[in-house]
Structure 1
Amino acid sequence: MSNPETEWLQRSLQGDEDAFACLVERYQNPVFNLCYRMLGDEFEAEDAAQETFWRAYQHLQRYDPQRSFITWLLSIAAHYCIDQQRKKHMPILAIDDLLEETLPDQAPDPERKTSQTEEQTAMRKLLETLNAQDRAAIVLRYWYDFSEEEIARALNLSASAVKSRLFRSRQALAHQWQVEAAKTAGKERKQDESPAF
């Protein structure tokens, strides 16, 4: 943590609301993005981000300074989003910006953009098949680069349980991706074979 963040955190621990507002401003984007990835709805993500910061403020005395503040904050967000999904008993929607985050920005290319959108939609459908904790583990690992130990602390799991969840989820996603790719290829083949009138 850089010096201003350390100072803001120390002042926040002493009850300085302005210092905590600086922390909120600093971390609002990563918290919102995590909530959006897990909930799939902009308005729900905004509510979840606000709730995350409120809970962090209420429980700031429980923060362990040996731990990264952003890791602690994202753990609160992940738990809240998992709880929200469990309450709704519905699948979690996937990441809309998956490829935009991982691919370099290039000149406008309509074909690439169309392909990108199709892949985002496919990934959204695949991630919907994972349960809330598996989804959280995948998001924290591959979009936030959390270590297995950090994920374990964030989700209150053992490190071996995290490894197992990540392994199973990757296998399931890879298998499902192949199945969907085969279906798409079959549909395209049928369209190519259709007689033209």
Structure 2
Amino acid sequence: MVTDTEAAWLEQALKGDDEAYSRLVETYQNPVFNLCYRMLGDEAEAEDAAQEAFWRAYQALKRYDPNRSFITWLLSIAAHYCIDQQRKRRFTSFSIDSLEEDFLPDGGVGPEKAAAQSEQSQILHQMLTQMPAPDRAAIVLRYWYDFTDQEIADALSLTVPAVKSRLHRARRALAEQMQQHIKEPAYAERNPYESSAL
């Protein structure tokens, strides 16, 4: 559902009021940019992707269902675009800088704890860069944006069982790699997804 204010802006935007759409962009530019940054790992690319997502949303406004959350719909468009970009370049990077606030919420941690958390963040960074784009999108939408299975399915044009399968596979692979790292300090890079069916 949309708020009354959003509904008014959407109605005005549908009538060609660019100022009304600009208000929607201002309201949601941060979450859209953050999703793009987590997906693409590059600030400049994320800015371009966010602009493209808002442009695509503007072009598709007449197809928007007001019974659906506007931000969910908008993030779905952004996620699809980022997946397309990742597929095009075939090499993805996931900036760990975008995760620091999530993994280091307490600015007063001691140096030993901070070092351990930094190492864990680096390991997670390495693991996430190896995931196929749709799996990474599912993980980001679930754990950073609290999307439900159905919302992820809608966002990525998948079935709910496919979403559950992707999330399960991704969590299992992350857990296995973490265990492997604990057992083998000299962690060898390898991609557990190479033999997985997308």
Task: Tell me if TM exceeds 0.5.
Answer: yes
TM-score, length of structure 2 as denominator length: 0.86
Partner of 1:165: 166
In 2, Cα distance between equivalents of 1:95 and 1:143: 14
> What are the Cα deviations for residues 11-43 of structure 1, in whole angstroms up to 9, with x where unaligned?
112211111111101111100010010101111
**3-state DSSP of counterpart to 1:48:** helix
Runs (5+) with no aligned partner, structure 2? 188-198
Question: What's the RMSD between the two structures over aligned residues?
Answer: 1.9
C-alpha distance 102-121 of structure 1, shift in aligned 2 (>3 A): closer
The residue that corresponds to 1:191 in the other structure is none
CA distance in structure 1 between the aligned counterparts of 2:154 and 2:95, rounded to whole angstroms: 23
Normalising by structure 1, what TM-score? 0.87
Unpaired segments ≥5 residues, structure 1: 187-197
Aligned residues: 186
Runs of 4+ in 1 over 4 A off after TM superposition: none
Q: Residue in 2 aligned with 1:130? A: 131
Cα distance in 2 for partners of 1:97, 1:109 equals 21
SS of residue matched to 2:185: helix
- Native 8 Å contact 1:8 1:23 kept in 2: yes
Q: Give the CA deviation at 1:185.
A: 8.2
Contact 1:34–1:77 under 8 Å retained in 2: yes
How far apart, CA to CA, are the structure 2 residues paired with 1:115 and 1:9?
Answer: 47
Work out whether residues 96 and 121 of structure 1, in 8 Å CA contact, stay in contact via their aligned partners in 2. no
Match of 2:118 in 1: 117
Report the residue type matching 2:99 in the other structure.
L
- Greater C-alpha radius of gyration: 1
2:45 maps to 1:56: no
What is the percentage of aligned positions where both structures have the same residue? 60
Q: Is the 8 A contact 2:38 2:94 kept in 1?
A: yes
